[in-house]
Structure 1
């Protein structure tokens, strides 16, 4: 009996390997993928501005990395005892304006350098709703708990989304001509907008992204939205808020990403790294037993051999931990 629909996932001819550098930007679902890639020791950077949801914020941030925009105090505003940036998540906010600017500009420099070297750019879009300040129509990436009357809310049309993202794609390909771009739509429901409005918002994003993927040969689509909404479907794959996919759902989506976008030889190494990571996280009840010391010794040797095969990866913390047998 068939219990799930199949979703066809088009795999690119060239797939991700450990030699690649990956740049991720977008919604909170970006960080689920990014966290898994980081655990598996891929060279990656994610969300240099913090979490971003709408295409305007994503595009504006990418353009700022390419142009190496330097933020000044005039780019900040003071609210709730904190200096903040309309273009950044609140993780960048702080009580000292100079420190806020320092952290933002360090992130800008790192993003510029990493985007220039990146092989893959993964863009996860969360919502078509864009917010602008009422006083000057400046788009904002984060409202920072400011009063609602400070903002105008606008659902971007498909044409507006295509236009703003296409501008960034063209700049990206001039900046880094070999860059491969993976678009995906977050399966997280923006339910505060309303169920109908959320579906309209996601539909516009999906259509816009497919227009871009059809036009640019270096662009690809990964159906994380469809995998959760159309394949898993059941609310048991959501957290208690019924909005965010839970651990089982995100693992399922990442497995599909592995199968479709990551090189088979690299996936073999990933399995070895998963075992090493599990061993590293294991906390023994009796660390002085001979069996645990033997485990440390065999694990150390496995890591050492893997380090020789993959010298570009950093196994220093694992090697230090498993070498405890010598202490």
Structure 2
């Protein structure tokens, strides 16, 4: 008896992720779920250098500024609730002084530019088609930073708006990096603050726009672009509230692990998976908390873990356990 519908997935024939690849992940909070897995298994990666970016226009702005080597200036930041903020970045970059914020922004911009030039894989996760516009400047923002809601207008990006933004993102990436695999996905996180119907409408706009991009013909720059169905896996394979966290909005750890395993099945070779198992053994050894740290048994255990670690790092210098 089959009690689950399965999303059909096929192993990629090339551009697989391994320990020589360099991944850049940008987008919604689901990026950090997948990014934490890549970090745990010691893949080279950069996750959300500007913090969580939920909507495609915010991602486009970041990539455009990084590629065109723009700099953030005093006119791009503002003071609110005793901290300096930028509407184009998450509050994790906010700072107590204007100078520190500008330093943070431009440092992350340079880091993003470097990764865009050299990444082998770029993962872009879209969270919502709903956007907020700061009425005073008519600017679409990535984060409202708890500025009073009355100062913003709320809009739903059309399929055409999203499709144009995604095409601009691909064009920008291809202008500096013609070889990177660009992997798009839609976050399975439910944005219920927008409303149940509104969340469904938002996700449908994102999915339709993405497939318009991926199915467009005659555009060479769209070559090597892919879709991974994170949202569909959550909705169809894991259609049960036991796979959600207590807020009934975010996938729980079981769901994250499940989607990660399917991502591995598509984007990683059997050889890489075997190597990941070796990394996992070392990671668990490093995280082990002994009852008696001074015992001979524990000292021997640490020596074994150290030997396993050195063996991995000798073969793959990119693997760093510090």
Which SS does the other structure have where 1:178 is aligned?
coil
List structure 1 segments (4+ residues) > 3 angstroms apart after TM superposition: none
Of residues 48-57 and 286-295 in structure 1, the stretch that sits farther from structure 2 once superposed is 286-295
Mapped contact 1:212–1:219 kept (Cα < 8 A) = no
In structure 2, the partner of 1:242 is 248
Structure 1 partner of 2:67: 66
Match of residue 19 from structure 1: 20
Structure 1 spans left out of the alignment, 5+ residues: 318-327
Displacement of 1:173 in angstroms is 0.5
1:297 Cα offset (Å)? 1.9
Q: Deviations over 1:193-244 (max 9, x none)?
A: 1111101100111111112222322111111111111101110111111001
Q: Are the structure 2 counterparts of residues 10 and 208 from structure 1 closer, same or farther at C-alpha, using a change threshold of 3 Å?
A: farther
- Separation in 1, partners of 2:122, 2:213: 14
Deviation at 1:275, TM superposition (A): 1.1
Shift, 1:9, TM fit:
2.1
**Which residue of 2 is the match for residue 83 of structure 1?**
84
Give matches, 1:172-321, under 5 Å: 172-215=173-216, 216-315=222-321, 317=322
**Cα offset for 1:100?**
0.7
Tell me by how many angstroms 1:135 deviates: 2.2
Deviation of the 1:288 alpha carbon: 2.2
TM-fit CA distance, 1:165? 1.2
Aligned counterparts of 2:207 and 2:320: Cα–Cα separation in 1: 37
Root-mean-square deviation (Å): 1.1
Report the equivalent of 2:3: 3
Q: d(CA) in 1 for partners of 2:96 and 2:303?
A: 48
Residue 151 of structure 1 corresponds to: 152
* Matched position secondary structure for 1:144: coil
Mapped pair 1:132 → 2:133: yes
Write out per-residue CA displacement over residues 51-102 of structure 1, whole angstroms, 9 at most, x where no aligned residue. Answer: 0001111111111111122101111111112211000111111221001101
- Provide Cα deviations, 1:296-325, integer angstroms capped at 9, x if missing partner: 22222211211122122223x3xxxxxxxx
* Alignment of 1:44 onto 2:45: yes
Q: Which moved more, 1:215-224 or 1:245-254?
A: 215-224
Secondary structure, aligned partner of 2:8: coil
2:219 aligns to what? none
> How many pairs align?
316
Normalised by the length of structure 2, the TM-score is: 0.96
2:312·2:319 contact (CA, 8 Å) conserved in 1?
no
